[in-house]
Amino acid sequence: MFKGKTLHILLGGALCMAASALSAQIAVKSGDKIVFMGDTVTRMGNGRAGFLNLVMSALQTNGVKAVKIPAGASGHKSNQMLGRMDRDVIQKAPQIMVLSCGMSDVQQGKRGVSLEDYKKNMTQIVDKALAAGIKVYILTSTMITENPDHPNNQKLAGYNDFLRTLAKEKSCTLVDVNADMQKRLADIKAKHPGVKGNLLTHNGIFMNPLGNIMLAEGILRAFGMTDEQLAKAQPAWNKMLLPQEVYMSLSDYKALSEKAFQAKQSVGDYLKNMVKKELQ
């Protein structure tokens, strides 16, 4: 028979071991620094309930206290990210870099970056990080408009195909958020036939709260987080406030989006129509 004190020690040790086993699957460790290198989507993702902060919140909920280093810059293309790699990544000495690049290279048209040059730039970015001992997670670029048949998305497909090849050749982890986005949009439209407007973005490009959730979940799964661990993160996510001008929590937004989709509208259109009705 164990005495009370001994039993408490054994139980405490068992609980610690269970917690360690749960977090052992996650590739990120407490104390690790994570650089989020990207363009406007990444910069905006560092706002309230943005995907950077959703990722960090989920890690902390699951016992991983990592350090976030935001490195998103508005409109930045691959050549510009390559030019600031030393300052924004290497000198920060992170263990992990989450790399998102491609949208601006395509979207900016003549001022953009050709696929040939993009390949060279992205290869150099990844090589610099790997040479510094940084583990690289490569995100495919999210869609440019939510229409997969839009010419920009057709052009973007070649850039994303290269990222898939690059990740494989360099033994980096691929986070295929473009495929996730297309699937998430298809799922919403299947559940709510006839729904119109932007569903995961504010304007076809920049993520709304549902888009930020999609990005965060993709990154966290790539880190090795299980469905159980993601579910554990949900209560903390739901309490997170959206940008100040919205005046609602993430939980409120999810409920609102469901009502909007049932009415076959985007959240933006649904709110506009509510305001019009109220003012009549």
Q: Can you tell me the mean pLDDT for 81-106?
A: 98
pLDDT in tens, 219-253: 999 999 999 999 999 999 999 988 766 678 999 99
pLDDT in tens, 115-132: 999 999 999 999 999 999
The answer on pLDDT for 1 being more than 60 is no
Residue 24 pLDDT class (50, 70, 90 cuts)? low
Alpha carbon separation from 264 to 22, 180, 256, 276 (Å, rounded): 40, 22, 12, 17
Closest CA to 139 of 223, 202, 264: 223
Q: What is the C-alpha to C-alpha distance for residues 211 and 147, in angstroms, rounded to an integer?
A: 15
pLDDT in tens, 25-43: 899 999 999 999 999 999 9
Q: Can you tell me the mean pLDDT for 79-93?
A: 98
Place of tokens 């036939």: 193
Domain boundaries, the chain: 28-273
Closest CA to 141 of 122, 123, 163, 121: 163
- Domain 28-273: which CATH number of 3.40.50.970, 2.120.10.30, 3.30.70.360, 3.40.50.1110: 3.40.50.1110
User: What global pTM score does this model have?
Assistant: 0.88
The answer on pLDDT for 13 being more than 80 is no
Place of tokens 């690049």: 101
pLDDT in tens, 143-164: 999 999 999 999 999 999 999 9
pLDDT in tens, 250-277: 999 999 999 999 999 999 899 889 888 8
